[in-house]
Amino acid sequence: MSKLPKIALIGNPNAGKSSLFNSLTGLNQKTGNFPGVTMDKLTGIWELEPNRKVEVLDLPGIYSIYPKSIDEELVINILGNPAHADYPDMAIVVADASNLKRNLLLFSQVRDLGIPTVLALNMVDVAENQGYVINSIKLARELNIEVAEINAKKGIGVNGLRLAVEKTLKNRYASNDALPLPVGDDLLADITAQYGEADPYRSLLWLMEHDRMKMFSEEQRIGFDRLQEKHRFDAKSYKTSETVKRYEALSEIVERCVINLNRQWDAPPVKTMTDRLDSFFLHPVGGYLIFLGILFLMFQAVFTWAAYPMDAIDGGVAQLNDYLKEILPASALTGLLTDGLIAGIGGVLIFVPQIAFLFFFISMLEETGYMSRVMFIMDKLMRRFGLNGKSVVPLMSGVACAVPAIMSTRSIGSWKDRLITIMVTPLMSCSARLPIYTVLIALVVPEKSTLFGMFNLQGLALFGLYLLGFFMAILSAWVMKQLLQVKEKSYFIMELPTYKGPRFKHMALSIYNSVKAFVFEAGKIIVAISIVLWVLASYGPGDSLATVEQSVRQANPTLSASELANKVAAEKLEQSYAGHFGHFIEPVIKPLGYDWKIGIALITSFAAREVFVGTMSTIYSLGGEVDDENATIKNRMRAEINPVTGKPLYDAALGFSLLIFYAFAMQCMSTLATTYRETKSWKYPAIQFLYMTTLAYLSAFIVYQVLA
Amino acid sequence: MSGTLADLKVGEQAEIMGFTDELLSLKLLEMGCLPGTVIELTHQAPFGDPIAIKVSGYTLSMRKEEAATIQVKTK
Ligand SMILES: Nc1nc2c(ncn2[C@@H]2O[C@H](COP(=O)(O)OP(=O)(O)OP(=O)(O)O)[C@@H](O)[C@H]2O)c(=O)[nH]1
Ligand SMILES: [Mg+2]
């Protein structure tokens, strides 16, 4: 394979890099209207012309080439190191035109690093709405660079950008301006002597940021420190003066190239849509109420609106199963197909409507720009508990899935805040818990009941569980803050972007992708475990299962045929391998109110909690009481009788105990693996697993003992 | 009248004079808070912290303790 030219997308956070990446490559990289959506690099192919392809690299946003958090560090490690595998042949600097001066600061730095650069002026529509008109031809002349006006969101202007890129790829023009601020020639000579020839500005970047650059060894880093000392070079003051100097030059350029219509007409400053919306959403009291209201609406919707399609899917799967059982010969294989496989798949499919609603709301919050406002109003509260306003994004997206949520902590500058956020994020109820909540709530909270005749109690219970997860998360964060006792300065200097209308097509696509991932990822595990479980539950050690039927018949000579069949099935399950496993851990879980059947589900859900419902349906379908007309998992669980009391097994005490257990327990290998990757140490996933599981056990114990 | 950004009330405008914290000043400069720029305090979160200011045409939020490192002059 010949090497394709590589183009890096560089720009301030939220400038529209990922949107542009999507329109160039046709891929579906995640976008959102708040700074810090993209946390990792992603490569795609852009077909400039038929048979002429280039590689495009989407990167996290940066405000300058001096990184302040690890997502920014990643970009500098690429741009500062020509030996890096991702070092680009050229860069497209994506600039938010409504904030031109600040965006040009980064542009000027990237260009001075010696990378051929094109400027893509994005969000021109936003700038025009605010009354700014940019003369991009003049700007191109002033900056001596190709400039293309684009609308990354709508994919407008790609053609102009293509021409600019072609030109730049051909002439590889990179300015080799003098340094923004002169330094001693002997300093540059020393750097060149020790670290090799490089663009002078890049040499300075190395000198100032060597601690954040992975290309240097310990020894080389010490060498840089020595050079700084020898030449009395103060990196901090250099960066400060450099920034001021650049802004001075850019101010003049912007002054010449941007027409401010507001000023021309001498009109009073217009109140933009964003200003007006913010007076509600950022209101000192109203802001909180609105936020709570939005969350509340979200969970009511997830529970009540999704119920209709869910019932339809549930009934459909049960009917399909009954039909198959009728037409297929009664055999072990039919059992595997219907009670194992189809029941397992049905257990996944039924939750598609809820997951879709959940993702709809979350992507709505992300797309409109409201997420930044939540960070703003929550910062003070979060700080008390050892977190940070920016922890809101991981915690909110933790409601969907903890894996991307933990990755999104990379934009948190302080290591302590970031670590605590990583540790507590899995306590937020993720979408894999939703099925468990739904089934159990339906069992223990009466369906028809409402509060004040308007709020569905089941929806309220669900909302309560999510709130509980959140409160436990911030409480745990507080405890960790006390334990860590690190005095590290964190800051919260953050842009609040303008509100933008959601793109429904984009939202639909992201919902579709999330649902697809849920169905296939979760589906694979669930189907695999269902099959394994079915085998384990259908066979037992030695010939124990073969003799079950005979011994049951002898022990109960008076039973009718169907009662006898049920009893045999129940006895068989108990004697199977799965039954043995369940009995094995029963002593440990008895204080929480769980029997050996629930024990089997607990064991299977340790790798991934989404298998709980599938496991339950396999166990109960094999374990007798097979009443074909009501063969849904809910009804089967409802029919379970506690052998000691003779009352339904799933009473409030057991139901809530299980709910609490699943709310707090760490039952997800992928999350632990992500924590390991993000903290680079096995210590933290181990602590995470232990503290969450202990928390789950103790809380479930208390709940059961109090309610029973 | 001179003071720090933390002393402003919602709706008040002021001109940035300088910074007292060297570490924060770079970040603030990069975000467009340059000496001589006129800013306006637009929002305060519940309990007065963090705050949001309008600076060179966009909204920037920061904590009160960070705002206290920005010296300003009101007219
Ligand atoms: N009005 C308007 N909105 C745009 C335009 N381009 C992008 N957006 C929106 O701006 C927001 C940010 O876009 P992203 O592509 O996620 O920005 P990014 O630069 O990748 O952001 P980070 O990954 O956080 O650095 C999204 O809500 C987009 O829909 C544009 O030209 N006009
Ligand atoms: Mg992005």
Which chain A residues have a beta carbon less than 8 Å from that of B23?
236, 489
CB-based pocket (< 6 A), ligand 1: A 11, 13-19, 31-33, 35-38, 60-61, 122-123, 125-126, 151-153, 367, 500
Using H for helix, E for strand and C for coil, what is the string for A488-500? CCCCCCEEECCCC
Task: State yes or no: ipTM above 0.85.
Answer: yes
The amino acid that residue A37 corresponds to is: V
- The per-residue pLDDT for B47 is 85
Q: Determine contact: B67 vs chain A, CB below 8 A.
A: no
Q: How many helices (H) and strands (E) does chain A have?
A: 34, 11
A355: its two tokens: 């997951």
- The per-residue pLDDT for B19 is 95
Q: Are residue A113 and residue A215 in the same domain, yes or no?
A: yes
- The per-residue pLDDT for A269 is 61
- Return the best residue to mutate from A37, A40, A412 for the ligand 1 pocket (most ligand atoms within 8 A of CB): A37
Q: Residue A16: which region, alpha, beta or left (left: phi > 0; alpha: psi -120 to 50)?
A: left
Query: Does A106 reside within a domain?
Result: yes
Task: For residue A380, give the nearest of B34, B43, B50 by CB distance.
Answer: B50
**Structural domain of B57:** 2-74
Q: Are residue A398 and residue A296 in the same domain, yes or no?
A: yes
CATH of the domain at A80: 3.40.50.300
Cβ pair A489:B23 closer than 8 A: yes
Which chain B residues have a beta carbon less than 8 Å from that of A129?
none
Number of domains in chain B: 1
Characterize A272-286 residue by residue with b for buried, 16 or more Cβ atoms within 10 angstroms of its Cβ, and e for exposed. eebbebbeebbbeee
Query: Does A495 reside within a domain?
Result: no
Q: Are residue A460 and residue A534 in the same domain, yes or no?
A: no
- The per-residue pLDDT for B63 is 95
Query: Does A206 reside within a domain?
Result: yes
Low-confidence ranges of chain A (pLDDT < 70): 1-2, 174-177, 263-270, 303, 340, 448-455, 622-632
Q: Which ligand is the nearest neighbour of the Cα of A63?
A: 1
User: Do residues A500 and A33 lie in contact, with contact meaning Cβ atoms separated by under 8 Å?
Assistant: yes
Question: How remote is the C-alpha of A324 from its chain's centroid?
Answer: 39
Query: Does A8 reside within a domain?
Result: yes
> Which of A483, A501, A528 is where one domain is finished?
A483
Q: Are residue A698 and residue A657 in the same domain, yes or no?
A: yes
Task: For residue A99, give the nearest of B43, B44, B57 by CB distance.
Answer: B57
Question: How remote is the C-alpha of A573 from its chain's centroid?
Answer: 39
> What three-state secondary structure class fits A259?
strand
**Structural domain of A454:** 286-317+325-334+350-483
Number of domains in chain A: 3
Cβ pair B58:A494 closer than 8 A: no
Tell me the pLDDT of chain B averaged across its residues.
92
User: Do residues A625 and A633 lie in contact, with contact meaning Cβ atoms separated by under 8 Å?
Assistant: no
Find the mean pLDDT for residues B38-67.
93
Q: In whole angstroms, what is the distance from residue A95 CA to residue A150 CA?
A: 10
Model pTM score: 0.87
Ligand 1, atom 14, lies closest to the CA of A16
Which chain B residues have a beta carbon less than 8 Å from that of A282?
43, 45, 52
Cα-based distances in Å from A158 to A6, A148, A162, A505, B10: 17, 8, 6, 19, 42
Q: Are residue A254 and residue A293 in the same domain, yes or no?
A: no
Give the angle A59-A65-A69 at the CA atoms, nearest 5°. Answer: 70
Q: In whole angstroms, what is the distance from residue B14 CA to residue A46 CA?
A: 47
Q: Are residue A169 and residue A61 in the same domain, yes or no?
A: yes
Which chain A residues have any C-beta within 8 angstroms of a chain B C-beta?
63-64, 66, 68, 98-99, 101-102, 105, 130, 132, 236-237, 239-240, 243-244, 247, 274-275, 278, 282, 284-285, 287-288, 372, 376-377, 379-380, 389, 489, 491-496, 498
Q: In whole angstroms, what is the distance from residue A109 CA to residue A30 CA?
A: 27
- The per-residue pLDDT for A614 is 76
CA end-to-end distance (rounded Å), chain A: 68
Ligand 1, atom 21, lies closest to the CA of A14
Task: For residue A380, give the nearest of B22, B23, B47 by CB distance.
Answer: B47
- The per-residue pLDDT for A624 is 54
A282: its two tokens: 């950022």
Q: Which of A519, A427, A430 is nearest to A473 (CA)?
A: A427
Beta bridge pairs of residue B19: B70
Which chain A residues have a beta carbon less than 8 Å from that of B63?
379, 491-492
Task: For residue A379, give the nearest of B50, B56, B57 by CB distance.
Answer: B50
H runs (alpha helix) in A369-494? 370-384, 392-397, 402-407, 415-424, 433-444, 457-484
Q: In whole angstroms, what is the distance from residue A370 CA to residue A33 CA?
A: 8
Ligand 1, atom 11, lies closest to the CA of A33
Q: In whole angstroms, what is the distance from residue A287 CA to residue A284 CA?
A: 6
Cis peptide before A200 (omega within 30 of 0): no
CATH of the domain at B8: 2.30.30.90
Q: Are residue A26 and residue A56 in the same domain, yes or no?
A: yes
